[in-house]
Amino acid sequence: MFFDPMYLLFIAPAMLLAFWAQMRIRSTYAQAQQIAAPLSGAAAARHILDSAGLQFVGIEEVPGHLSDHYDPRDKVLRLSSEVYRSRSLAAVGIAAHESGHAIQDALNYLPLTVRNAAVPLANFGSGFGIIMAVIGAMMSFQPLVLIGIGLFSCVVFFQVVNLPVEFDASARAKAQLVSLGIVEHDEMHYVNKVLNAAALTYVAATLQAILTLLWLVMRFGGNRD
């Protein structure tokens, strides 16, 4: 199988950032979990959604750790059991963030619309972009290389568009938590730490995609064997 050690050097900064972000999430989440909130994650999400006129958006409990997400197709918030049931600042912060995505969807927030439209190509490019570029290079068939690079460019596009989507959802979450009285202003720094650490994971993923694309272009983009 093909392996280029230079690839690891290319993506090393992103890997280090991702590792640090995961460490930050664990520590900030554990800290915020110890601070009580007046509502559970599910109740906080329901309050935020209802206040935004989104009574039709459902909330479901799903298995997994931090598997929380908003499904725009079914119009439902899916919260992990830990977030769904827990009455902690960590739980309401994450639930509020996912509620922010539902609000974006209802408002036809353009970056979210673009991101959702890019999902199929990004998934395909993530799975086959690098493979096609490498196979094309091994066969000395440059058109296949360029197709592979083009497909992986869809991954980079998705990640770049995803950043404002995630940042905006967190901003909406923070504003709603305070305005609705779910979290006291002097306790918001715990929520901020959790959501800011989560944001770093998206930054790391975007950086890794960009560096991988750069490696593909430099390694295989030229007409050379």
- Which of the following is catalytic: 61, 98, 166, 187? 98
User: Which pLDDT tens digit goes with each residue over 202-220?
Assistant: 999 999 999 999 999 988 8
pLDDT of residue 2: 57
pLDDT digit string, tens, across residues 23-73: 999 999 999 999 999 999 999 999 999 999 999 999 999 999 889 999 999
Closest to 99 (Cα-Cα) out of 74, 79, 119: 79
Q: Is 61 helix (H, G, I), strand (E, B) or coil?
A: strand
* 63 Cβ contact partners less than 8 Å away, ≥ 6 residues apart: 80, 81
pLDDT over 80 (residue 88) = yes
What are the boundaries of each domain within the chain?
A: 5-220
Known catalytic residue at 166: no
Six-digit token string for 62: 């799903």
CB 92 within 8 A of CB 46: no
Overall pTM surpassing 0.85 (yes/no): yes
Bridge partners of 79, per DSSP, are 61
